[in-house]
Homo-oligomer: A and B are copies of this chain.
């Protein structure tokens, strides 16, 4: 994990709201794994104050560069978009727990700006010999991002738009269902489910739908989540999400589980995990997507 002033090599405006920023950070690029993120400053005064978390969209350890694909949604990202080549980016990272590469087949699903962390994932999956299908979704054609970049990989790419302006009319959830049907017809039996994994990033309703399909079909699923962040390093406890407590019998409280040191924090059947450290990628079977607290 590093914190540095990185040289901006390129700032491309992709659409009206979307930018692709590439910066030089040799050490950071060597450490970075798909699904990890960086925490960037969007100005050099106290307003806006906090850093903004952005996923790594491009990881090129050979060139020593990293890139960020981001959407301008507020003051921070707007200021970020004003930086240009030759200026410096204050950046911390790589942060968080990225995707785990498992199985022999992968279905990688991105909705809207959610595609950002998925490109390096697809590249690494393919390098590991895993067969990849990418499902991209958006409201309409203009919302599709990084599509060409995915098509350049060896992955099979399927696209759905709500209004049918590109690819199939419908959602990535429809595409997922079809894909899983054809997978299980080719690979029948419960065993085969261990050889596939779904990876998803996008708006919460999309993630919920995917979560339900995978849950009922018992398909392994990894989700990349978002939450407001303060520190980005696990110190402030701002960025929590709820995860299920895996019952280990009586001495459950004593076992600092996979979510790190705060495993002792449990309600009946869930506890808070930090998106910046225990995530942003969580297993579907662990995570409770609805962020409101039950009483």
Which residues from chain A sit less than 8 Å from chain B, CB to CB?
Answer: 43, 45-48, 75
Chain B residue nearest to A49 in the complex (CB): B47
Q: How far is the CA of A157 from the CA of B45 in the complex (A)?
A: 42
User: What does DSSP make chain A's interface, helix, strand, loop or mixed?
Assistant: loop
Give 7 closest A-B pairs by Cβ, nearest first. Answer: A47-B47, A45-B47, A46-B47, A45-B45, A43-B45, A45-B48, A45-B75
In the bound complex, CA of A48 to CA of B47 (Å)? 8
Least Cβ–Cβ distance between A20 and chain B, in angstroms = 24
Q: Report chain B residues within 8 Å CB of A48.
A: 45
Residues of B within 8 A of A43 (CB): 45
Task: Report chain B residues within 8 Å CB of A75.
Answer: 45
Nearest CB of B to A45, in Å: 4
Q: How far is the CA of A75 from the CA of B43 in the complex (A)?
A: 14
| CB nearest to A44 among chain B residues | B79
Q: Which residue of B lies closest to A48 (CB)?
A: B45
7 contacts across the A-B interface (CB closer than 8 A): A43-B45, A45-B45, A45-B47, A45-B48, A45-B75, A46-B47, A47-B47
Q: How far is the CB of A88 from chain B (nearest CB, A)?
A: 13
Q: For the complex, what is the distance from the CA of A97 to the CA of B257, rounded to whole Å?
A: 72
CB distance from A162 to the nearest CB of B (A): 36
How long is the Cα–Cα vector from A47 to B45 in the complex, in angstroms?
A: 6
Complex Cα distance, B48 from A265, in Å, reads: 42
Report chain B residues within 8 Å CB of A45: 43, 45, 47-48, 75
A75 to chain B minimum Cβ distance, whole angstroms, is 8
A120 to chain B, nearest CB (A): 33
Closest chain B CB from A78 CB (angstroms): 10
A45 and B46 CA atoms in complex are apart in Å by 9
Which chain B residue has the least Cβ–Cβ distance from A75? B45
A47 contact set on B, CB distance < 8 A? 45-47
Q: Which of A45, A46, A48, A75 has the most CB of B within 10 A?
A: A45
Most buried by B among A43, A46, A47: A47
Min Cβ gap A179→B in Å is 46
Question: Inside 8 A of A46's CB, which chain B residues have their CB?
Answer: 47
- Cα(A75)–Cα(B44), bound, Å: 11
Once bound together, how far apart are the Cα atoms of A48 and B75, in whole Å? 16
Smallest beta-carbon distance A72→chain B, Å: 15
Nearest Cβ on chain B to A228's Cβ, whole angstroms = 19
Report A220 CB to chain B, min CB distance, Å.
Answer: 45
User: From residue A85, how far is it (CB to closest CB) to chain B in Å?
Assistant: 15
